[in-house]
Chain A
Amino acid sequence: MLIAQVSAVAIFLTMFFLIVTEKVERHIATLGCGFLTLTVVFGLCMRSGRAVLEALSLYSIFQPNFWYQMGAATTSTGINWETITFIAGMMIMVEGMAESGFFRWLCMEIAKLVHYRPIPIFLTFMVMSAVLSMFIDSITVILFLAAVTVELARLLELDPVPMILSEIFCANLGGSATMCGDPPNIIIGTSLGYSFGDFIANTGLMSAISLGIIVIYFYFCFRKDLRSSDRTGQSRSCPDPKEAITDRRSFLVSCLIFGCAVVLLITHAQTRLTVSCIGTVIALATLIAAGPRAKGILMRLDYKTLLFFMGLFVVVSGLEQTGVLELLAALIGRASGGNAMLIAAIIIWGSAAASAFIDNIPFSATMIPVIKSLAAVQGADLHTMAWALSMGTDIGGNATPIGASANVVGTSIAAKSGHAISWGRYCKVMAPATVIVIFISMLVIFVRYF
């Protein structure tokens, strides 16, 4: 087993190295390392066909529980097909919405409603970023929001950087509030059997409190940058929001589908529909409504991200099935002396620190078996650790320009428009904000769960 463990760790570290250095595309890195896990770790070292089957987890798709929750939610190892199906479904829905011009229209409409005044735009875009990210992946939210922000900033003669930074933070914060906002939450939710409502009641509360404080924080950080250019909003002619809508029918249909998705997600604990079922329904609805454009939407599907997830789950399964993650859990247990509050603190701060520098998706996927082991062996409350892990991984990524994908996309759009954001400028504002939110989250966890 020692050879299997060493192999699993070596493959995992290799995967991280390849992802960080971008020597190959990340889905190639995870798929390649996943293949090595199956052949070397499970095949050669463990000689276990069962381990391979558990890692691939294909049987789960054919279980009724994959589509409709019957009885208690079950947790699983290996490829989390529920996560992948849900993400794919949401991707298709978002493609349909983007194609119709929904996101650009929404941004422009809000800007128009506040009469193109910089500070109201700044405040409303932050809130919009958080709210949209509760249901839509933060990369898409920032992709559109940052682009519109750059455009508006040019028209209003503003520096777009303060707005983009605050939108990035709020996107990651909003994503932490729900099960479908950020990939780590999707993974945590589907792996541990939590519902949309569970997240809202727990991480949603922490996010809501934090959002109020963070909006004030960013206002005080950037008010001078925005006030100095505060005009009546009539400097140059701003585009009509209606011009953003490419096709009125598909716009209305995509709004309807999005509304249905939100309702299905909010009520899925009551309806017992799983997120994979919801994702599939939403995807089919979008494709059927798209008609001849369905092929184009499917072609634009980010299959590389889906493949990335598949490979990642297999590699993490290698760590899990060889017992490496149990060892890590034991280490945390020893370091904390079995103190449940300390365990929660280690998880939230440790996750935050790690997520600031490494991709939070592999990190959260790796930590799930760790917290399960901690719950089983140390007697720590699994739910508490899950919320700590969720907030740590989702918010920690805000601290640096590379911590989360939304950060990369937002800063990239800023750089392309000539407003490159250095590490210094980014971290000076965002790192303290991250610490504030993690601190608030830790306080809420301590007060509420202990």
Chain B
Amino acid sequence: MSEPLIVALGREFGSGGHEIARSLAKRFSLPLYEKNMLEAIAQTRELDVEHLARYDEQPKNRLMYRTVKGFSNAPGDALAQMQFQYLREQADAGRSFVVVGRCAEEVLRDRPGLVSIFVLADRDFKLARTMERGAETTGEALAIMTREDRRRRLYHDQFCKGKWGDARNYDLTVNSARLGIEGTANILAQYIHARTSQGEADKP
């Protein structure tokens, strides 16, 4: 792969997507873009990052916000467009990076160096991880998982032609429960190495 490497990682809640993304970013010495994008955007535009964070990855509530002549007044929509713009600018500048969520696999679809991945997991695996992160009961954990996945799905499908988690929209879809977080990261790293090597081999 002669182009800059961009790893776009979508994930189910509790599947370990963030940890896997961090591991990949470390292995390939790449910056990781997730919530920290807001700080960069806030700095560039001289905005309050806490104000922006309230609307990060928030789907539009169609009862509370409208679109008129292409102008949507949903705060989440405006922030999403800022983030998409930021990702495009990074890619245009020739930078390699790992990005979590933010519809990156669709926004950067036309970039040859893109590797798009979706991480899912078995319910019990995600349940256990969610309980580790502070949910006190199984019921609470399940509610959090359902709510967060629903939010991500609505957010993603609002901006993307492809559906969230649909294997046809990603280069690779992987169940992190099978090999665990580290094992999954290893496999994904191997895949990315293979893609980059293929790119080098394709060089004239």
Give the distance in Å from the alpha carbon of A20 to the alpha carbon of B64 in the complex: 9
The chain A residue sitting closest to B44, CB to CB, is A418
Any A CB within 8 A of the CB of B168: no
B5 → chain A, closest Cβ, in Å?
A: 30
Tell whether, in the assembled complex, residue B75 and residue A422 are in contact, meaning their CB atoms are under 8 Å apart.
yes
A21 beta carbon closer than 8 Å to chain B: yes
Q: Is B73 an interface residue (CB 8 A)?
A: yes
Closest 5 CB pairs of A and B: A420-B75, A415-B78, A412-B71, A418-B47, A411-B73
In contact, A418 and B73 (Cβ under 8 angstroms): no
For A401, what are the chain B residues with a Cβ–Cβ distance below 8 Å? Answer: 64-65, 73
- The 26 listed contacts between A and B (C-beta, < 8 Å) are A21-B62, A21-B63, A22-B67, A139-B68, A139-B69, A302-B69, A401-B65, A402-B65, A402-B73, A405-B69, A407-B73, A408-B66, A408-B67, A408-B68, A409-B68, A411-B73, A412-B68, A412-B73, A413-B71, A415-B74, A415-B79, A418-B45, A418-B78, A420-B51, A420-B54, A420-B79
Which residues of B line the A interface, CB within 8 A?
A: 42, 45-47, 51-52, 54-55, 62-69, 71-75, 77-79, 81-82
B80 CB → nearest A CB, Å: 11
A22 to B72, CA, bound (A): 11
Query: Which residues of chain B are near A21, meaning CB under 8 Å?
Result: 62-63
Which residues from chain A contact B69 at a C-beta distance below 8 Å?
Answer: 139, 302, 405, 409
**Interface membership of A220, Cβ < 8 A:** no
B71 near A420 with CB under 8 A, answer: no
Q: In the assembled complex, which residues on chain A have CB atoms less than 8 Å from the CB atom of B62?
A: 20-22
- B71 touching A408 by the CB < 8 A rule? yes
Closest to B55 in A: A420
CB distance from A402 to the nearest CB of B (A): 5
A146-166 vs B: 1/0 string, CB under 8 Å? 000000001000000000000
- Interface of A: prevailing SS: helix
State whether A20 touches B63 (Cβ < 8 A): yes
* Complex Cα–Cα for A419 and B45 (A): 11
Shortest CB distance B32–A (Å): 23
**A423 contacts the other chain (CB 8 A):** yes
Contact A402 B66 (CB under 8 A): yes
Indicate with 1 or 0, residue by residue over A402-442, a CB within 8 angstroms of chain B CB atoms: 10010111111101111111110000000000000000000
Range of interface residues on chain A?
A: 20 to 34
B64 adjacent to A423 (CB under 8 Å) = yes
> Are the CB atoms of B63 and A412 closer together than 8 Å?
no
Given contacts A22-B62, A420-B55, contact A415 B77 (CB under 8 A): yes
Q: How many Å lie between the Cα of A307 and that of B55 in the bound state?
A: 34
A415 vs B62: C-alpha distance when bound (angstroms): 16
Residues of B near A408 (CB, < 8 A) are: 65-68, 71-73
Taking the nearest CB of chain B, how far is it from the CB of A28, in angstroms? 14
Shortest distance from the beta carbon of A369 to any chain B beta carbon, whole Å: 26
Chain B residues near A419 (CB-CB < 8 A): 47
Set of chain A residues within 8 Å of B47, measured between Cβ atoms: 418-419
A20-B62, A408-B65, A418-B42 are known contacts; what are 19 more A-B pairs with Cβ within 8 Å?
A: A21-B62, A22-B67, A139-B68, A154-B46, A401-B65, A407-B73, A408-B68, A408-B71, A409-B68, A410-B73, A411-B73, A412-B72, A412-B73, A415-B78, A415-B79, A416-B81, A418-B47, A418-B78, A419-B47
A22 touching B66 by the CB < 8 A rule? yes
| Per-residue interface assignment for chain A, residues 286 to 319, with 1 indicating a CB less than 8 Å from any chain B CB and 0 otherwise | 0000000000000000100000000000000000
Whether A409 pairs with B45 at a CB distance below 8 angstroms is: no
Contacts of B78 in A (CB 8 A): 412, 415-416, 418, 420
Query: In the complex, what residues of A have CB within 8 A of residue B74's CB?
Result: 415
Is the CB–CB distance between A415 and B66 below 8 Å? no
B52 touching A418, Cβ below 8 Å: yes
Nearest residue in A to B63 (C-beta to C-beta)?
A: A20
A contact residues around B42 at 8 Å (CB): 418
How long is the Cα–Cα vector from A410 to B72 in the complex, in angstroms?
A: 10
Tell me which residues across on chain A come within 8 A of B68, comparing CB atoms: 139, 405, 408-409, 412
CA distance A409 to B78 in the complex (A): 12
Would you give the shortest CB distance from A269 to chain B, in whole angstroms? 32
